Amino acid sequence: MRTRALYLALATALAALFAGILSGPATAGQTQRSTASEATAEAAPKATPKAAFTHPGVLVSRAQLDFVRSKVNAGAQPWKGAYDAMLASPYASLSRTPKPRAVVECGPYSDPNIGCTDERQDALAAYSLSLAWYITRDSRYAEKAIQIMDAWSATIKDHTNSNAPLQTGWAGSSWPRAAEIIRYSYDGWSAASIDRFKTMLRTVYLPKVIGGSNSNGNWELVMLEAASGISVFLDDRTSYDKAIAKYRGRVPAYVYLESDGSLPKTAPGSGLDTRDKIIKYWQGQSTFVTGLTQETCRDFTHTGYGIASIAHVAETSRIQGQDLYPEVGERLRQALGFQSKYELGEAPPSWLCGGSVKRGLGPVTEVGYNALHNRLGIAMANTQKLTERQRPAGTNSLFLGWETLTHGDNPS
């Protein structure tokens, strides 16, 4: 009831203040939200997690999966089309052969790429196959997902080179999604294999991601997505709380709101203690407006990664009874709306990224849009238009997959 009260309070305030406003971002001298509402969103009560974790509970809950299964089996759209797209992809292939490596070495811009693509794609395949199993109850999909997870848990020992934390975050976000679904809906995964998979996550993945990163914000956000999901699967409350605490510090440092002041907030321990350092970190952008992200002026692709992870962690937290949407929802809403406006084709003003943006946001809007628009009833005109235009959302072959299927108009 407390969570529902928070939702209703936030929805009422936002609906009254911002109905229809998301049609564009704030200009340099105009805000999209009042100081009072900003304070309300940022000062939302800090929800405390339940004593025990909910399973399955990484990104998708049992209720959400049941909703998807019923819609697909009824042939309803957009879920049936999204499911068909997933099933036709290589990620759901029953003939897939996993390609595990003991050491995955990932350098900058995939140079070198020794097992990096194989690992990410196998992890996404395990997740895709687990979804196919849940929807069809065809055990072949569950067994193939298990084969992939077992192959990697029996082999991998480390990630190396400069992109090791990012790679670990990408693959480490997909593995626990798959493992949660299989472990808690299929009885054919042996206890020994589950224990070995847990050991892999605990010793190979979690240490690389739990400490976060001071690189571009999408790094730390996906690392914390991985850390929180892994912690759920491991029933590790200490690690989960640590990941969530760092996430709460990173989100305000990734998405700017006018109430932040003349400069964006910085993440704890970032060392960004001067205006010049902050502007450099924000890709040289010196005009800050509501909805701008730390990577907007880098490109929309990397910005999309960060936005997706913000939504993913918030969604997992909601499933786990520690709803963070009242705390991060306004930043997520504004980030989605700001980027969506320009992704849809509007020309950027001269003060934004030198008058030129690099589009390519990717399939990143469904989770946040569903949470804020469908569950909370907040108007999100640009995000809605982009979301519907991109359906069915597919995969970016890194850590995003099939979110029209799992979260499109999903009320659960």
Spatial strand order in the sheet of 158-160: 113-114, 103-106, 158-160
Confidence of residue 46 (pLDDT cuts 50, 70, 90): low
Residue 41, domain member (yes or no): yes
Tokens coding 223: 């690392």
**How far is it, in rounded angstroms, from Cα 254 to Cα 356?**
20
- Above 50 in pLDDT, residue 187? yes
Residue 382, domain member (yes or no): yes
Domain that holds residue 247: 2-407
Identify the three-state secondary structure at position 305: helix
Given this model, what pLDDT does residue 8 score?
Answer: 40
Residue 162, domain member (yes or no): yes
Given this model, what pLDDT does residue 14 score?
Answer: 42
Given this model, what pLDDT does residue 50 score?
Answer: 66
Residue 412, domain member (yes or no): no
Residue 199, domain member (yes or no): yes
CATH number at residue 338: 1.50.10.100
Given this model, what pLDDT does residue 295 score?
Answer: 98
**How far is it, in rounded angstroms, from Cα 142 to Cα 55?**
17
Euclidean distance between the first and final Cα of the chain, in Å? 15
Averaged pLDDT, 19-27: 37
- Above 60 in pLDDT, residue 22? no
Confidence of residue 51 (pLDDT cuts 50, 70, 90): confident
Greater confidence (273 vs 27) lies with 273
* Closest-CA residue to 243 (of 215, 271, 208, 270): 208
Please say whether the beta carbons of 332 and 372 come within 8 A: yes
Given this model, what pLDDT does residue 180 score?
Answer: 98
The string of pLDDT tens digits covering residues 234-283 is 999 999 999 999 999 999 999 999 999 999 999 999 999 999 999 999 99
Identify the three-state secondary structure at position 323: coil
Residue 165, domain member (yes or no): yes
**How far is it, in rounded angstroms, from Cα 338 to Cα 94?**
40
Tokens coding 21: 């406003």
Please say whether the beta carbons of 200 and 158 come within 8 A: no
Number of compact structural domains in the chain: 1
Residue 241, domain member (yes or no): yes
How far is the CA of 10 from the CAs of 17, 23, 85, 210, 357, in angstroms? 11, 20, 35, 30, 32
Q: What is the pTM assigned to this prediction?
A: 0.89
- Above 60 in pLDDT, residue 212? yes
Residue with tokens 């995964």: 189
| Span of 26-35, 121-130, 380-389 with lowest mean pLDDT | 26-35
Given this model, what pLDDT does residue 49 score?
Answer: 61
The string of pLDDT tens digits covering residues 357-379 is 999 999 999 999 999 999 999 99
